[in-house]
Amino acid sequence: MNILTFETNEELNEVGAGIIASLVQTKPNAVLGLATGSTPIGIYEELIKLYQKGRVSFKHATTFNLDEYIGLPEDHPESYRTFMNEKLFNHIDIPLEQTHVPNGNAADLEKECRDYDDMLTNSKQIDLQILGLGHNGHIGFNEPDQSLNSGTHIVQLKEETRKANARFFNSIDEVPTQAITMGVGTILKAKMIILVVRGAEKAAIVQRALQGAITTDVPASLLQTHPNVVVLLDKEAGGMLS
């Protein structure tokens, strides 16, 4: 595990975008696993700049997003499909049919999970997976539990997760209670993982995830078992690491 700490978010964003762009430059048909939320936005902005400068093209790449809320219309401003379109896809040359986000409005949600896993299987292997880190140690929407699902599945969101996401809605009552998420097993199959964490409020869980016991009570701690993880932290998030 390669842990990098940055003095500024600008440096962090440039390094994160540089890793992704380098992969796509050397492997134009790369399969990218993408994340939502405020954490990766700066990296996506840097990727857009690199594309606009003609330094990278995504027209042959394929993307799979980690998760999606259940019950939000696809065009809802807080759906993850809307997020990805507005923050990245609409500004680069990737065909939208090559971008995949779980359908949280599928008539048969269990079948949607199976179909998403089938698409992932048919794409062979994710070359690079971007992750954020939840306050309780979740990755994707894989919440702390006695056991974790390997494949794509439906999850009941913890109250602390809903509270953390309530800032994007008018109130916590509007935050969905369920989501579809890629499983930890699928995440760990990626050839490379980039974990991005920002802010002092994440320092304690960063320490537990990266230097604590490997346990399903902190799903991100399972990243310690992966052979190729790069961790990008601002100095506040890395403040409790030994």
Burial class (CB in 10 A: 0-12, 13-18, 19+), 134: buried
Clarify whether 108 is annotated catalytic: no
2-234: CATH number = 3.40.50.1360
pLDDT digit string (tens) for 112-146?
A: 999 999 999 999 899 999 999 999 999 999 999 98
Q: With 90 as the cut, is the pLDDT of residue 158 above it? A: no
- At 228 the pLDDT is 98
Q: How confident is the model at residue 159 (pLDDT cuts 50, 70, 90)?
A: confident
- At 75 the pLDDT is 87
Query: What is the DSSP pairing of strand 67-69 with strand 178-181?
Result: antiparallel
In the set 85, 103, 105, 136, the catalytic residue is 136
- At 147 the pLDDT is 86
Clarify whether 143 is annotated catalytic: yes
In the chain, where the domains are located: 2-234
Q: What angle do CA 129, 135, 139 make, to 5 degrees?
A: 25
Q: How confident is the model at residue 168 (pLDDT cuts 50, 70, 90)?
A: confident
Clarify whether 170 is annotated catalytic: no
Clarify whether 138 is annotated catalytic: yes
In the set 142, 143, 153, 234, the catalytic residue is 143
Q: Are 76 and 46 in contact (CB under 8 A)?
A: no
pLDDT digit string (tens) for 12-60?
A: 999 999 999 999 999 999 999 999 999 999 999 999 999 999 999 999 9
Q: With 90 as the cut, is the pLDDT of residue 174 above it? A: no
- 65 phi and psi angles, rounded to 5 deg: -85, 150
